[in-house]
């Protein structure tokens, strides 16, 4: 019989994660994402943030688009989100969409002890990282898909959504809206697929 697979230590887990994730997607852009260190801790910290509606940018700096946010002035203090800026997130969306959800879920189950250890290091009272993952996915799935122009205001320096129902969204949800409707739909579809695959992998170990 084959020897049992032994997980590496959390501090030495990057190579395992890189090898596994590269095999889950054929998109070349994934290599740049995986060039950073401490991948499991960064994923856990980022997911914890999203589960609370936050975006911890330091954990995902490498994912940031290379061009800036763009708005078009249409009035005195009236702007619209430039639809051309949605393209900044196309590569991000293609990479997410290219991942094999079932294989990702299987890998997630395999590295659960490392995920739990990284989550425990954050000092959270609830030891169940699965709940955090499903909370994060659930929050993003509740994000509306906004077709048509997205109005903005600029009360001081930062732009805000003119529509109160959008401005009252959590920061993580606003980030998804700023990616544009086509990208939002594709990401939400993949997240639904991943959630189903995770439940299935958990129920059929």
The tens place of each residue's pLDDT in the chain, 205 residues long, gives 556 678 999 999 999 999 999 999 888 888 888 888 999 999 999 999 999 999 987 766 667 777 777 899 999 889 999 999 999 999 889 999 999 999 999 999 999 999 999 999 999 877 789 999 999 999 999 999 999 999 999 888 889 999 999 999 999 999 999 999 999 999 999 999 999 999 999 887 6
User: pTM (2 decimals)?
Assistant: 0.92
pLDDT of residue 36: 87
The whole-angstrom separation of Cα 89 and Cα 48 is 22
Domain ranges of the chain: 10-64+85-144+166-203
Q: Which residue has the tokens 């809206």?
A: 177
- Token representation of residue 57: 């940018």
DSSP H or E run through 94:
helix 90-98
């Amino acid at each position: 019989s084959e020897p049992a697979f032994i997980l590496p230590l959390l501090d030495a887990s990057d190579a395992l994660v890189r090898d596994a994730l590269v095999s889950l997607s054929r998109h070349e852009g994934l290599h740049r994402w995986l060039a950073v260190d401490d991948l499991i801790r960064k994923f856990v910290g980022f997911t914890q943030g999203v589960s609370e509606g936050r975006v911890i940018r330091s954990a995902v700096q490498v994912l940031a688009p290379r061009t800036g946010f763009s708005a078009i002035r249409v009035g005195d203090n009236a702007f619209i989100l430039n639809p051309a800026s949605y393209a900044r997130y196309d590569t991000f969306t293609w990479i997410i969409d290219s991942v094999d959800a079932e294989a990702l879920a299987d890998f997630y189950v395999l590295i659960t002890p490392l995920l739990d250890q990284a989550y425990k290091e954050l000092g959270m009272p609830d030891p169940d990282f699965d709940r955090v993952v499903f909370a994060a996915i659930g929050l993003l799935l509740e994000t509306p898909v906004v077709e048509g122009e997205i109005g903005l205001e600029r009360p001081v320096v930062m732009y805000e959504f003119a529509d109160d129902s959008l401005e009252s969204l959590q920061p993580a949800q606003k980030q998804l809206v700023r990616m544009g409707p086509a990208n939002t739909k594709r990401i939400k579809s993949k997240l639904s697929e991943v959630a189903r695959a995770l439940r299935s992998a958990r129920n059929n170990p």
